[in-house]
């Protein structure tokens, strides 16, 4: 099996997030424990630093937050179904597998092809090579024991109307579903739309959907009456001054909309 990859556009971001997570898990003070992520990071032949620059651990923090939300849900819904939209090379199944969960990874064909090479599917972790916007994936979900849908690093790459359509479809299709995703603020969305060059060798894909943390709950409720409960929290780098000051950003309304956010919504 070749250990190199050839990706471009949005699918290439799976290596950006792997860079931040893989570098973090190698630290003695890591916020995330993830042997499979470390294995992938060391195995794949790619110049991460040249392409993406120095790692900041942000995506490791995001993964840890998603794990913290998912593990209690799994305990309360034995044999439930987790749908991972834009699975990429995320290793949440490997970190959180309780031996009973049914897991469905949904991603575009080129991303699923890479995932299959390095993280083969199993009887309880199946792969579906289609876009999250192709709502036929909903037909592959067994809702009998509960459904938890995750979307890490996905919605910002969609047009606002597509995010609305997708979120509404999920919440209205599965009563009681929990949906967890992250958002970027409008200032960063605008930056990417003008052309955000992360390094001289990497131009980040445009991210059309940005939303203020303070507006998220009201926005979701304006999309569909199926929204029951919404929680929103900021997140940032794993270490350093920005990580230390994040609670200040969360506490002050004037700063609250600056960092990215993680959203968890439950349907009626």
State the average pLDDT for the chain: 95
DSSP 58: H
Q: Convert the pLDDT of each residue in 27-65 to its tens digit.
A: 999 999 999 999 999 999 999 999 999 999 999 999 999
| CATH code matching the domain that covers 10-267, chosen among 3.40.220.10, 3.40.50.2300, 3.40.50.150, 3.30.10.20 | 3.40.50.150
Give percent of the chain with pLDDT exceeding 70: 99
Given this model, what pLDDT does residue 103 score? 98
Question: In terms of DSSP H, where are the helices of the chain?
Answer: 13-25, 35-43, 48-52, 58-76, 92-96, 109-118, 160-173, 186-195, 216-223, 241-251, 253-256
Domain ranges within the chain, ordered by starting residue: 10-267
Categorize the per-residue pLDDT at 245 as very low, low, confident or very high, splitting at 50, 70 and 90. confident
Given this model, what pLDDT does residue 227 score? 98
Q: Convert the pLDDT of each residue in 70-86 to its tens digit.
A: 999 999 999 999 999 99
**DSSP secondary structure letters along 186-225:** HHHHHHHHHH-EEETTEEPPP------GGGHHHHHHHH-T
Q: Convert the pLDDT of each residue in 146-158 to its tens digit.
A: 999 999 999 999 9
Q: Give yes or no for residue 253 having a pLDDT over 90.
A: no
Q: Give yes or no for residue 1 having a pLDDT over 50.
A: no
Write out the H or E segment, with its range, that includes residue 261.
strand 261-267
Taking a C-beta distance cutoff of 8 angstroms, is the pair 182, 262 a contact?
A: yes
CA dist 133 and 222 (Å) reads 20
Q: The whole model's pTM is what? A: 0.96
Given this model, what pLDDT does residue 2 score? 47
Given this model, what pLDDT does residue 5 score? 81
Q: Convert the pLDDT of each residue in 165-206 to its tens digit.
A: 999 999 999 999 999 999 999 999 999 999 999 999 999 999
């Amino acid at each position: 099996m070749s250990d190199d990859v050839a990706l471009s556009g949005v699918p290439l971001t799976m290596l950006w997030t792997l860079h931040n997570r893989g570098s973090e898990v190698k630290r003695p003070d890591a916020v995330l424990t993830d042997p499979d992520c470390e294995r992938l990071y060391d195995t794949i032949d790619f110049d991460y630093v040249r392409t993406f620059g120095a790692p900041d651990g942000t995506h490791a923090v995001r993964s840890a937050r998603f794990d913290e939300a998912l593990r209690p849900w799994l305990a309360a819904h034995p044999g439930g179904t987790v749908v991972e939209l834009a699975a990429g090379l995320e290793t949440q199944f490997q970190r959180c597998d309780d031996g009973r969960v049914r897991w469905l990874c949904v991603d575009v064909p080129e991303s699923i092809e890479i995932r299959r090479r390095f993280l083969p599917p199993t009887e309880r972790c199946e792969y579906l090579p289609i876009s999250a916007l192709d709502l036929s994936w909903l037909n592959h979900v067994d809702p009998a024991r509960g459904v938890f849908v995750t979307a890490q690093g996905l919605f910002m790459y969609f047009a606002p109307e597509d995010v609305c359509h997708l979120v509404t479809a999920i919440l209205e299709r599965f009563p009681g579903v929990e949906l967890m995703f992250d958002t970027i603020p409008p200032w960063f969305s605008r930056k990417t739309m003008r052309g955000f060059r992360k390094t001289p060798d990497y131009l980040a894909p445009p991210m059309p959907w940005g939303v203020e943390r303070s507006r998220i709950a009201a926005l979701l409720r304006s999309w569909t009456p199926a929204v029951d409960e919404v929680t929103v929290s900021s997140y940032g780098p794993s270490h350093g001054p920005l990580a230390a000051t994040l609670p200040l950003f969360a506490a002050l309304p004037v700063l609250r909309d600056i960092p990215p956010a993680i959203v968890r919504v439950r349907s009626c």
